[in-house]
Amino acid sequence: MNYCLYKLQFDSPVHFGPSDTALSLYSSEGHFCADTLFSALCHSALSLGGPAQVETLCQWAREGTLLLSDGLLWQGEQFYLPKPCWNGKFSVEVSTRQRKALKALNWVPVSQFAAFAASLRGGEPYNALQTSEAGRNVEVERAKVGRQQEDTEPYYVGAYVFREDAGLYVVAGCGTDEQQSAVAKLLAGLGWSGIGGKVSSGYGKFHIIQTVPLSAACTGDEGWLYDRLTDENANHQLLLTTSLPQEDEMDAALENACCQVVRRGGFVQSGTDANGARKKRTQYFLAAGAVLERRFSGGLFDVGGSETAPVYRYGKPVFLGVEL
């Protein structure tokens, strides 16, 4: 598997509505999940290569030769990982302020992951107070234009604005150089149209500021990431993708696992569907940051609820082998 890291910088606010609330229009998270990315790549493939390229993308996902992480945080020169879902054994008392900061912590810098893991094993407490915000949530007022005699009504859209020195990165695993080149092209094209919600209003646009092929020759954080991506025999596996084991691997995957689940829903938006937007089948995925003892394959799930054309939700994982 060839792994590549794509560092994205956003040129506009983003709207990544949380799927666990009915009010997702009014709030936004600061990252996207891999199923959102895969759906957006499929739209990009349809625009650039037609239905055949979409089917090719789906086939790669089914075969497991296309793996995608969630959108993960970068800030300054640091790459971050989702905070592991793990019950630490703290040997010393920490202040109330520090305890609250640890509870609110969502991301851990790659360069400090070893120190964070040591703190979970009872070592020196990790200083979560050193973290700074990568962006801010905002509310944008918009106007719903009424038809005929209806009044124009204002409404609000929740958005997230990244700082100039922050954004998201994606780790993509591909089986061949040809697949890697195709994914890079689709990702670059996606930057023009945007990812997430409200892209028709200009949200979610980005450009790739760095492409890093991960290999044994890499050093620093990139070298550390490559070593862990390829370590299938580590005691623990940290999930970088909001994803789901297939039914026949569920029991083995969840044995002694420490994880949280997140609801994945949404609607099918299709200009060719006479019935308009259709509700996708709701599923509950393992959230990125889950810690398992072994890797699973995951799947590409048909969630369209229609016999006319399948609608897929991406659920293939990227793992890091770590010691906790």
pTM of the model: 0.91
Contact 199, 35 (CB under 8 A): no
Tens digit of each residue's pLDDT (9 = 90 or more) over 110-137: 999 999 998 888 888 888 877 778 889 8
d(CA 51, CA 57): 10
pLDDT at 306 (0 to 100)? 65
The residues, ordered by sequence, that sit 6+ positions from 261 with a Cβ below 8 Å of its Cβ are: 284, 285, 286, 287
More confident residue, 22 or 109: 109
pLDDT confidence bin for 147, thresholds 50/70/90? low
pLDDT at 34 (0 to 100)? 97
Is it the case that residue 292 has pLDDT exceeding 60? Answer: yes
d(CA 178, CA 120): 41
Tens digit of each residue's pLDDT (9 = 90 or more) over 30-53: 999 999 999 999 999 999 999 999
The dihedrals phi and psi of 17, each to the nearest 5 degrees, come to -65, 130
pLDDT confidence bin for 141, thresholds 50/70/90? low
